[in-house]
Amino acid sequence: MAQALAYHPGLMTQGIISADDHLDLRWLPPDLWTERLPSKLKERAPHIEEAANGPTWFCDGRGWGRWGTYKSQGDGTKWAIEAFGELKEGELRPTIPDLRLKDMDRDGVDATVMYGHTNDFPVEDPQLREAVYAAYNDWVWDFCSYAPNRLVSVAQLPAEDPVVALSELERAARTGFKHVNVMAAIANPPIYCEEWEPFWKVAEETRIPVGFHLAVRINPPPARVPQSVASAVQSMLGPQQLNAPIAGLILTGVLDRYPGLKLVMAESGIAWVPFMIQRLDASYRKMREGRLAGTRTTACELKPSEYFTRQIWMTFQDDPAGVKMLNQLPQDKVMWASDYPHPASTWPHSKRIIEEQTEGLSPELKQKILCDNARALYGLN
């Protein structure tokens, strides 16, 4: 059944959808896995331990990252809810449904698509890995059931295990998820390799859009690089980590074999995408002419730009240059997002930023990128 968006006075008649927000490790309930894993695996479940820098997630002796309502350490990386006065000791605000909805109301957002941890859950054992992902996905489904017309759940799938990813995709489809996410940039094997072929077949059959969210710090900078420099470089290069997965899927013919497959470049931004499309089309032409890699053929049937028009969506948040380049993109594939509650989020000033950056766009185009494209992709109404 389609989900109905709430109407908020003063907003667009059809609402505003944030197509990329988050449920991060630091905010998850501390008993998420210890309560939900099968009894035979409970002793190995991800759990919280006190570490040198504070409460930390551990699983099978491996640290995953910090947990809780800690404040920034003076390095300038305040999360949005800390920067704007909503971080309270002991309150996991983003995973408390009432408070999450209040933050959405404050920002003028009617519905949110919520990705999880921005890296894979690092679990070596395949049996434990499958249980860990299943437990998280069960939890996020239950969390979103509090307000299913506003909270859109995203099932997380392991990028390092095509077999478990396929199993969880099938389970997500049976549950009713409208979206799943694979950290494509860190997939091993790469997502266009033959091991992923059964996954793409089922993804097309289920019609569930598959997200590729950016992964954090794929290649950590050397210790001698100042944090401010490393962060600036990461902010520029991070979105382009999706170049290889998208190009690989196009040029190996995956999108030809599965023309109904829907992909989402989440938190990619859009200003750099016209250049990517231009380069892919140029490479395609050179390959056809035998001027690249010594071949006259490619596995794809169409120009790469045509796959973007047919099958690839993308999200942006604070991207004024990208908005000015919308005429170079398939406009029904672009979706706005706030990235709540991350440091880069536009929350709680999204309405102002939207107005500033979309000034001059037609009402019809605003409606598309702020609401209708996401509504259509995820079957909301």
What is the C-alpha separation between 306 and 345, in angstroms, rounded?
A: 31
- CATH of residue 336's domain is 3.20.20.140
Residues 6+ apart with CB under 8 A from 290: 296
In a domain, 59, yes or no: no
What is the C-alpha separation between 100 and 98, in angstroms, rounded?
A: 5
In the three-class reduction of DSSP (H, G, I as helix; E, B as strand; rest coil), residue 74 is classed as coil
Q: Are 354 and 370 in contact (CB under 8 A)?
A: yes
Residue 121 is which amino acid? F
In a domain, 62, yes or no: no
In a domain, 360, yes or no: yes
The tokens for 106 are 């404050």
Residue 244 is which amino acid? A
Q: Is the dihedral of CA 364, 370, 375, 380 positive or negative?
A: negative
In a domain, 105, yes or no: yes
Residues 6+ apart with CB under 8 A from 96: none
In a domain, 49, yes or no: no
In a domain, 34, yes or no: no
Number of structural domains found in the chain: 1
The tokens for 103 are 């933050």
In a domain, 42, yes or no: no
Range of the structural domain that residue 366 is part of: 17-25+88-378
Q: Are 350 and 103 in contact (CB under 8 A)?
A: no
In a domain, 45, yes or no: no
Each residue's pLDDT tens digit in the chain (381 positions)? 344 444 333 333 448 999 999 999 999 999 999 999 999 999 999 999 999 999 999 999 999 999 999 998 766 689 999 999 999 999 999 999 999 999 999 999 999 999 998 889 999 999 999 999 999 999 999 999 999 999 999 999 999 999 999 999 999 999 999 999 999 999 999 999 999 999 999 999 999 999 999 987 555 556 666 666 666 666 666 678 899 999 999 999 999 999 999 999 999 999 999 999 999 999 888 888 777 765 555 678 999 999 999 999 999 999 999 999 999 999 999 999 999 999 999 999 999 999 999 999 999 999 999 999 999 999 997
| pLDDT for res 281 | 94
Opening angle at CA 307, ends 306 and 313, nearest 5: 120
Q: Which residues pair with 312 in a beta bridge?
A: 263
Q: Are 162 and 198 in contact (CB under 8 A)?
A: yes
